[in-house]
Amino acid sequence: MNRRLAAGAAVVGTAAALVLSGCGADEEEAPSGAGTIGVAMPTETSERWISDGQTLAAGLEEAGYDVDLRYAGDDTAGFKQADQVQAMIDGGAELLIIAAVDGAGLGDQLKAAAAQDIPVIAYDRLLLESDGVDHYVTFDNYAVGVAQATSLLQGIGVVDDDGEPTGDEGPYNIELFAGSLDDNNAHMFWEGAMDTLAPYLEDGVVKVPSGQTEIVAAETWRWSKDLAQDRMESLLAQFYADGTELDGVLSPYDGVSRGAITALALDGLGPKIADGMPVVTGQDAEAASVKLIREKMQYSTVFKDTRLLADAAVAAALAYLEGGEPEVNDTETYDNGVKMVPTYLLGVSTVNRGDIDEVLVDSGYYTDDEITVG
């Protein structure tokens, strides 16, 4: 077993930090165990990817593998992730688990991996435009979008707890945010959300005063909190300065939600939902957003249990390394432009204020302290 990553998640956290700090990922010491698995994660600016990386490393270590875990700092301009994955291949990785920054940005590396029979597992984000991806583990991304839009409609009162129309005809004003368009998930979230909102938009129960109902206009490049704040500020200045009320914001990710909420709070619309803060959705149950949900600033988040996703990726990796095939439960949804990628899908759940304790604390995802304000 790798001496750096031997003793569970706490040690793994330290080891991952070591790999990433100081002399940097590229000068990492040579692996010591029987085989090395390369784990490429997109960024540390989002809590979820940090814990995904740690859980993956812990699971692989427990199975006796060394782990080369690298974070790409969301960088595409400098090709950082491509360089990292190339270094993993050159360093003799037996298998790669990749959550891409840019889904279509690793073509050369995937080709090199295929040429050396290195299995590649796409982790949460589909690897696009390449036949060098063998397996995909993810959550039901369309269902995430459906959950976000349903929660938005529930929050403003247009549908009930079961998602059925309440008969409230509004009209309610909403604005729409999408994720980063080089991430296939952003498109799936949007599709699920827009299919859910469509009947209410068509009937005029829900309106988008900015008219920005195309994904390109709603994009948040790199899922950036700051860009979301900027866009929300400019939407408020352009379309709400005359006193038009904003009732809801469809947000695909908690960081984007917090950007929008910051703009809304600065605009004097906050601070609490009951006092006029629009209903804002989210995703990932990030601690900072769970606190905002407790504080009634953010309405909901979609929880994806990344522990289960990491377990599924580790199981798939071990299946390949032991000469077998991983479990698949979807062979029809994830066409990456070149091939239909065999997929293992996990479910998602919406977390409202009242669900926090049961879903996030009782399950051990967070301690109460981690999501308590103050």
Binding site for ligand BGC (CB under 6 A): 46, 48, 124-125, 179, 183, 185, 223, 253, 283-284, 304
Question: Min. distance of Cβ 223 from ligand BGC in angstroms?
Answer: 4
Question: Min. distance of Cβ 46 from ligand BGC in angstroms?
Answer: 5
Helix (H) or strand (E) holding 315: helix 306-321
Burial of residue 2 (CB within 10 Å: 0-12, 13-18, 19+) is buried
Question: Min. distance of Cβ 128 from ligand BGC in angstroms?
Answer: 12
The dihedral through the CA atoms of 58, 373, 286, 182 has a sign that is negative
Neighbours of 12 (CB within 10 A): 26
| 257 φ, ψ (degrees, to nearest 5) | -60, -45
Count the alpha carbons within 13 Å of 85 in the hemisphere toward its beta carbon.
32
Question: Min. distance of Cβ 341 from ligand BGC in angstroms?
Answer: 15
Of 36 and 350, nearer to ligand BGC (C-beta) is 350
Of 110 and 318, nearer to ligand BGC (C-beta) is 110
Question: Min. distance of Cβ 278 from ligand BGC in angstroms?
Answer: 20
Of 155 and 179, nearer to ligand BGC (C-beta) is 179
Question: Min. distance of Cβ 41 from ligand BGC in angstroms?
Answer: 10
Neighbours of 226 (CB within 10 A): 12
Of 151 and 283, nearer to ligand BGC (C-beta) is 283
Of 109 and 180, nearer to ligand BGC (C-beta) is 180
- Rounded to a whole number of angstroms, the distance between the first and last alpha carbons of the chain is 40
CA-derived radius of gyration, the chain: 21
Of 159 and 309, nearer to ligand BGC (C-beta) is 309
CA distance 122 to 341: 9
